Structure 1
């Protein structure tokens, strides 16, 4: 162990606490800036020693610490209790600093840190009530150092590494984070601790369970108070806010202003990552005491002449009283006026035709995976919080990361429907140009200090890295914003930047030299885990390049989903080969040291997040017929996707399958390649996956594969999926789950922004309704005088906490419900495409045989029959009929259309079913035009006379349809608002009248 042996021997001997402290100090000084020494000490066993030192400081270890002290030398026993405690704390502090120094050595030191258990000891110390203030800062710095150096997710890891997040975001450490963030900006140390705690949340909070825990445990509310402090410091508190301080939900006092040196960016980042992709957490943030205090909701007032006084002194409103709404938010007056938005065009793509039948239009243009669907409709105009214009003012006033994080937060609020729709022009003229400017080569943050908070890359690099992701989220699914970004040169700049991410990466550091060859072995079997070095991982520069590439791909994908001209522009910029290169994963058999080499070629591959973004970009480009037939096929887009569909990470499989869906379309020249590459068995296997998203995408791809393919291919798909599995899917009733959720929503969720029994819209941010709990549940947990803020104020009160949990459960339940509907919808669409095209009659007979004629027709009939559920909590209404989801109605009726287009015997089978056609008659006047159109098409196909041999059958079916009242229903559709339905109805009426007149 060369130089490491003497100090390690001294630390292991534990002759006295003072000597231990001296040895730790000497070790700390020896390690700083010497990575070779760090490796030697790790392999020599420094982490078990540090873990032992830190374990003595953990709460509950006092007895063990006392026993250790009694075994020390006489010199130690002569120290007083105060000196002994001080020595213990000093030793612990030195151990924390040494661990932090080792962590700065890079990813190779993370594995022994995790294996040693010192992180658990550090978090236990941080969570204790008697944690010295001198410990909080170095512990937070150490945790941030580790978070900054976590390796990028790769093929070897499989899923994302959440070990640190699981430790830090456990219940007790979260309470410690809440305590740290909730403290006031009194000293430089407290300010730094607050910022480090917020930064840690921003770096680690990626999982849904962690975001929910941070909201429920009060960290989100504590962060909101910090934002309120900046609002106060900048003078943006709304006029008259002082009059609302004593209202329920407010702090009771205006928070003190944040000091001038305090940094806002970490606070905004932490809030953003917590509320992302959850409207309920975002509303929880907007209703937090800090935000409500500085931005109270403006209540419409009444003119003084409308307020009358009664004979006993009470006041009432005159009969002609009308509330006066405020002309606008006071903060809006500080923003510039912008031109009005142009009228938006239809989001449908002319070059993405429907397949066989006009299927569901639910699929949005999200080009990279999202845990939950984002809000589709904006909030009502009066529901926008004043924080939205304040963030826009910040974007104009601030510079650096604060500006970018303000842009990111306001974008998230806009995507969740919590910003007014009329903000789109302001985003177009104010926010989009700023984000595009950050893509310039010569862009530099003002007053650049040379490094960012992690010390690995510069602040300018960090902002350039994150700006494309903010731009992608902003323009997603909004053609007006996409147009402004493209006209501002975003496509050209992003294309150039994507090319540059494949330039050789300059490395300032050189590999360490070892006198005895290649240095310490990294994985000998006999070495304990806490003494074994991990893989070196990517260098900081290469990590930056990979994240930059990922976000650029996201931005390119978000800009081109609707316009074919934009997709062609991407190809003309020559980046398609680079997108294809980004689809290639890092080789799983690469040597451990290869990732740290300064190489950045396509052969070196990409981490998992980059693969997901590249799949999204490829999926958007494959929407174009011309691009698919030229640039993409020339670049060879299919082969890397065929590899990724078998990737070990399910998220990559989902993203690759979504892109393959477009390759499998009938006009695609790569459809034959999918069949010849033996992809069908993999898709069928994935359709049986426990991951519902993978099931949906696989069925979607198979639906395209079987359209207009030979019957033997179709039969292969049915056999691979399994007739029993298909029967099980199409016989399920997802509307029952939906009905139960709706009942739960109505029974216990009046505070969810829906109309109450009086038809009034209930305010979700300040509900005063009765949820069935006692009045005690609605009291704030804070019992201190309103003029003083305590830590308890940052723990959400019972009402807000219960509402957050309820909404979170309903959000997940709603997503599960939609997933169930989507699986059944795609399965029916798959069966519909199987009986399309040439050989359709043979395939109808085949499905009747393998699925069972009665079973299939009964399943179709059940889809047209409203379900009934029992409602045990509603005594006056023991059961309730549920409406069939539109998606199921459309797909099931389309299936009937194609069966009716078969042979006369197939039409006879449909008509002979007791309730199939009779149930269909309930939907001729359905609100959805596709359902009405399908009903008319069923009638046409049932009575269309292909030859004279079927004339009597057609006449019999026409008579039967008339007896079911179809003629009257068709008459009601003669003046339908949809032109296509009107024309199809004329055809159906003509055929019916012709047959009935014979």
Structure 2
């Protein structure tokens, strides 16, 4: 490459003549657009600091220098993550944000906004600067095309385009709840809702996208958006339901996405029929499109129907499964593209697998359709794909399918899912490991024919290794899998697990400092270890010691208003111990103030499930196979503590299960 003219162009940027600098900037711009090699060359020639210097200049005599500098920076930003890192390193973001102030030339504002849009396309770009000083206020102001005071039709179109850029930047800067709050407080909702009615499709799409991300997983903001009226007094939801019928497939997709996010935020319950009859069918039809629309449609569909049995059934009825299955089996893998660690074909396959996982997560009908589509071998093969997203999505699919005992025992076994799934426990991606671990939870239950295979492959040792991970999700899923592995298991399996895990590690997990969910599952593991046979309870007493076991129970019983799931699990632990030998019952009876009186208190809890478990504890403490003196003393002690009077007051409990258990207890008291 003849670099002489490029060196000369960089040198000319030092000229005192603005016309020479503008000419050099235009030369550089024309050379680097769409040319990665030229971009690398100019970066090596250290052109970025010069561009930043132009943006910082207070000399506004000729704004063309700043405009062209912003355009060139934007072009560099479209060159990849490394380029964005280089731009940020030289401090370009703050000067670009200064350029979007309304006091500047509208052409400079547009050029700077375009550059910022390119920078924030990069997922690793630091977004903190946009929330500092007045920058967010300036950005929100640009959402109103009239803020640039356009006088001609051409200027009007340019100002709408700038509003589109501003909305796109906002959509890329609300990753966290705190960012959502700051953007909302700056007045984004009215400005974005008004932009929905501007009549320019690209700006409307950008506004929809921004609104979608602002209300994602945020019920408060979902409701606030729904209640925001446009300047034409139209309801935002009605505007979106109109836009979802647009001739543009991109518009239909983004409108569907925004309505999906509002639905998931529980903000549009009164529009549930529209979600079922308009939004869902629109997303299924968009699977027939090409390019980015077809790629994203399964992702939105998966999010819409997740955890919703009714919508999953509707998706089954709309023939979504054959279309999604076709993507999994026939889409050709493609090389990676800019800012996408996988190719377009890979992303489509990943999204299709996630949609299939969602469709089959709650309904047997969905699982049956996936099996009938004959794609289980393809799902298993996807576990070895080069894309970590596809590997994780394949795990998620398997997890949904494994909820059917029949499929678990037939199709998944026939496809040989156990070995490739086990390998993913050692995947380079923590996300894949966590999803594989979650999937394994169903495969290690006692009725699963793959439980033995997983154990023979070293599953216990691997899960214990993952239990010590610093990643909360991975640690949670690993302890969950171990809990399932010992559920209704033979004593020798429990012993094998605890030899590797150790009671000390389980005790640490019960008091996990990072995750209450880990504590809950560790208690559930303890519950399962102390279940089925008195000999299993005895092993727990030996493994922890009676004092330590009772201390754990006493500590967790204090969580009255903190976490009901913890309370349930610790009561189940007590219940299992109470079903053991006399010495196990005595261990509980010896702690009247720290354990028994708290159980009595939980018999009056608001949650009926907690009341039921507490009464079951009493049933097991009262249970006796003989009329020995020790059992009579135990019954009298419980009577003296007020248990009989409490149970008598529960005979008209609103919960049927509680009432039935209460009858049992009163009968037991009457016999002694």
TM-score by length of 2: 0.87
Conservation of the 8 A alpha-carbon contact between 2:530 and 2:577: yes
Conservation of the 8 A alpha-carbon contact between 2:253 and 2:297: yes
Q: SS in structure 2 opposite 1:665?
A: coil
Cα distance in 2 between the residues matched to 1:103 and 1:577: 41
Match of 2:82 among 108, 111, 114: 111
Q: Does 1:439 align with 2:277?
A: no
Cα distance in 2 between the residues matched to 1:490 and 1:632: 22
Give the direction of change, closer, same or farther, for the CA distance of 1:390–1:20 in structure 2 (3 Å limit). Answer: closer
Cα distance in 2 between the residues matched to 1:103 and 1:706: 53
Q: SS in structure 1 opposite 2:54?
A: coil
Q: Does 1:163 align with 2:162?
A: no
Q: CA deviation at 1:675?
A: 2.4
Q: SS in structure 2 opposite 1:184?
A: helix
Match of 1:933 among 612, 620, 645: 612
Q: CA deviation at 1:828?
A: 1.5
Alignment: residue pair count: 660
What corresponds to 1:55 in structure 2?
52
Give the direction of change, closer, same or farther, for the CA distance of 1:176–1:677 in structure 2 (3 Å limit). Answer: farther
Conservation of the 8 A alpha-carbon contact between 1:706 and 1:713: yes
Q: Does 1:224 align with 2:72?
A: no
- Structure 1 gap segments, 5+ residues each: 63-80, 151-160, 232-257, 296-330, 332-385, 444-459, 508-535, 585-601, 735-815, 868-881
**Greater RCO (CA < 8 Å, at least 6 residues apart):** 1
Cα distance in 2 between the residues matched to 1:504 and 1:920: 59
Conservation of the 8 A alpha-carbon contact between 1:864 and 1:884: no
Give the direction of change, closer, same or farther, for the CA distance of 1:612–1:282 in structure 2 (3 Å limit). Answer: farther
Give the direction of change, closer, same or farther, for the CA distance of 1:416–1:954 in structure 2 (3 Å limit). Answer: same
What corresponds to 1:138 in structure 2?
111
Q: Any idea what the Cα deviations from partners look like across 1:482-516, whole Å, max 9, x if unmatched? A: 22221121222222232232x355x9xxxxxxxxx
Cα distance in 2 between the residues matched to 1:48 and 1:177: 32
Q: Does 1:484 align with 2:314?
A: yes
Q: CA deviation at 1:410?
A: 2.1
Cα distance in 1 between the residues matched to 2:314 and 2:645: 51
What corresponds to 1:447 in structure 2?
none
Q: CA deviation at 1:663?
A: 1.6
Q: Any idea what the Cα deviations from partners look like across 1:919-956, whole Å, max 9, x if unmatched? A: 2122334443332332332233223334x5x7433333
Cα distance in 2 between the residues matched to 1:963 and 1:859: 26
Q: Does 1:677 align with 2:457?
A: yes
What corresponds to 2:95 in structure 1?
124
What corresponds to 2:564 in structure 1?
886
Q: CA deviation at 1:718?
A: 4.5
Match of 1:959 among 620, 636, 658: 636
Conservation of the 8 A alpha-carbon contact between 1:103 and 1:146: yes
Q: Does 1:826 align with 2:521?
A: yes
Q: SS in structure 2 opposite 1:959?
A: helix
Cα distance in 2 between the residues matched to 1:27 and 1:293: 43
What corresponds to 1:456 in structure 2?
none
Cα distance in 2 between the residues matched to 1:917 and 1:486: 51
Q: Any idea what the Cα deviations from partners look like across 1:156-200, whole Å, max 9, x if unmatched? A: xxxxx4225456666665444234324427322211111122223
Cα distance in 1 between the residues matched to 2:67 and 2:120: 20
Q: Does 1:291 align with 2:229?
A: yes
Cα distance in 2 between the residues matched to 1:116 and 1:918: 65
Give the direction of change, closer, same or farther, for the CA distance of 1:399–1:29 in structure 2 (3 Å limit). Answer: closer
**CA root-mean-square deviation:** 3.5
What corresponds to 1:465 in structure 2?
295
Give the direction of change, closer, same or farther, for the CA distance of 1:168–1:673 in structure 2 (3 Å limit). Answer: farther
Q: SS in structure 1 opposite 2:47?
A: helix
Cα distance in 1 between the residues matched to 2:236 and 2:609: 41
Conservation of the 8 A alpha-carbon contact between 2:70 and 2:96: no
Q: Does 1:195 align with 2:164?
A: yes
Conservation of the 8 A alpha-carbon contact between 2:55 and 2:66: no
Give the direction of change, closer, same or farther, for the CA distance of 1:182–1:48 in structure 2 (3 Å limit). Answer: farther
Give the direction of change, closer, same or farther, for the CA distance of 1:169–1:543 in structure 2 (3 Å limit). Answer: farther
Q: Does 1:392 align with 2:241?
A: yes
Q: How does 1:311-330 map to 2 (within 5 A)?
A: none
Q: Does 1:265 align with 2:205?
A: yes
Q: Compare the two structures and name the one with the higher helix fraction.
A: 2
Cα distance in 2 between the residues matched to 1:223 and 1:694: 37
Q: SS in structure 2 opposite 1:124?
A: helix
Q: Any idea what the Cα deviations from partners look like across 1:615-662, whole Å, max 9, x if unmatched? A: 332221111111111222222333343333334444333322222222
Cα distance in 2 between the residues matched to 1:478 and 1:724: 40
Q: Does 1:660 align with 2:440?
A: yes
Conservation of the 8 A alpha-carbon contact between 2:299 and 2:351: yes
Q: CA deviation at 1:425?
A: 2.5
What corresponds to 2:153 in structure 1?
none
What corresponds to 1:75 in structure 2?
none
Conservation of the 8 A alpha-carbon contact between 2:189 and 2:225: no
Q: CA deviation at 1:985?
A: 4.0
Q: Does 1:627 align with 2:407?
A: yes
Q: Does 1:581 align with 2:381?
A: yes
Q: CA deviation at 1:55?
A: 2.6
Q: CA deviation at 1:428?
A: 1.9
Cα distance in 2 between the residues matched to 1:176 and 1:646: 48
Conservation of the 8 A alpha-carbon contact between 1:559 and 1:566: yes
- 897-906 or 538-547, larger mean C-alpha shift: 538-547
Conservation of the 8 A alpha-carbon contact between 2:51 and 2:73: no
Q: Does 1:572 align with 2:572?
A: no
What corresponds to 1:408 in structure 2?
257
What corresponds to 1:895 in structure 2?
573
Cα distance in 2 between the residues matched to 1:504 and 1:292: 44
Q: Any idea what the Cα deviations from partners look like across 1:324-369, whole Å, max 9, x if unmatched? A: xxxxxxx7xxxxxxxxxxxxxxxxxxxxxxxxxxxxxxxxxxxxxx
Q: How does 1:301-700 map to 2 (within 5 A)?
A: 386-396=235-245, 399-420=248-269, 422-440=270-288, 443=289, 460-501=290-331, 503=332, 505=334, 537=337, 543-584=343-384, 602=385, 605-608=386-389, 610-700=390-480
Q: CA deviation at 1:572?
A: 1.1
Cα distance in 1 between the residues matched to 2:217 and 2:655: 36
What corresponds to 1:591 in structure 2?
none
Conservation of the 8 A alpha-carbon contact between 1:924 and 1:932: yes
Give the direction of change, closer, same or farther, for the CA distance of 1:464–1:541 in structure 2 (3 Å limit). Answer: farther
Q: CA deviation at 1:833?
A: 0.6
